[in-house]
Structure 1
Amino acid sequence: MTSYMDEEANLIKSCLPPEASPPEDVDTLFLLYALLMRAKGADVTPADIHDAWSVWMQIEGKSHAALRPFGDLDRETQEEDLPYVEAIKRAVNIRKTSSTP
């Protein structure tokens, strides 16, 4: 069964730039991004993206050196979240445009 949140997650995926390389089996991660999109809209931040990714990593039972607060990450690691911020912002704009009478 596909829900409205699946549709939002798929929209965000479709808005990713070609150079973005999300990990495999990311359906749950993109559902978290869909939640961010609905909760924060265009105000979503790289720290929000990182927090969602951290929750997803915990749910998946995975370990990673970047599993620490966003502010503790080096600049290069922080910048890895930017394509996802931009994808969510693009998706927000698409939703605004498609719902405008």
Structure 2
Amino acid sequence: MTYLDPLADLIRSCLPPDAAPPADSAALFRIYAVLLEAKGEQVTDEDVHNAWSAWMQSVDSSHAALIPFFDLPPETRAFDAPYAEAIREAARQIRRSSGHERP
């Protein structure tokens, strides 16, 4: 376990109840933890798709969604939104707990 695992767990805890992360996705959430560290509240749905694509390439390199974000149909792009929002919420929680919250 590294410093990324608690961040990955925090992101997972910020997902809405109806989100269904892929099975065996610990490595994916570690990549999302890197996005949290690098981009925080500025993370985009496209960033999440790119992270997912990097992970999916090692899981199923023939997956139909392994194309650039803006080439995906809108209904497929929508799958990335809850993960991006979970990363942004995790960033907000970290900011609040660190005492750097603006009044």
Q: Which amino acid aligns with 1:71?
A: F
CA distance in 1, matches of 2:44, 2:16: 17
Deviation of 1:61 (Å): 4.0
How many Å separate the matches in 1 of 2:70 and 2:16? Answer: 24
Structure 1 unmatched runs, 5+? none
| RMSD over aligned Cα atoms | 1.1
Q: What do the CA deviations read for 1:49-92 (whole angstroms, capped 9, x no partner)? A: 00000000112244211110001000000011000011001100
CA distance in 2, matches of 1:71, 1:79: 11
Partners of 2:38 and 2:80 in 1: how far apart?
18
Aligned partner of 1:72 in structure 2 is 71
Letter in 2 for 1:41: G
The whole-number CA distance in structure 2 between the counterparts of 1:43 and 1:63 is: 30
- Of stretches 37-46 and 61-70 in structure 1, the one that deviates more from structure 2 is 61-70
Name the residue aligned to 1:49: 48
Determine the structure 1 residue equivalent to 2:27. 28
* Equivalent in the alignment of 1:14: 13
**TM-score, length-scaled by structure 2:** 0.92
* Sequence identity (%): 52
Which residue is 1:84 aligned to?
83
Secondary structure of the 1:80 match is: helix
* Equivalent-residue separation in structure 2 for 1:58 and 1:79 (angstroms): 20
| Unaligned segments of structure 2, at least 5 residues | none
| Equivalent pairs, count | 100
Q: Counterpart of 2:23 in structure 1: which amino acid?
A: E
Distance in 1 separating the partners of 2:99 and 2:2: 22
Displacement of 1:4: 1.2
SS in 2 for 1:95: helix
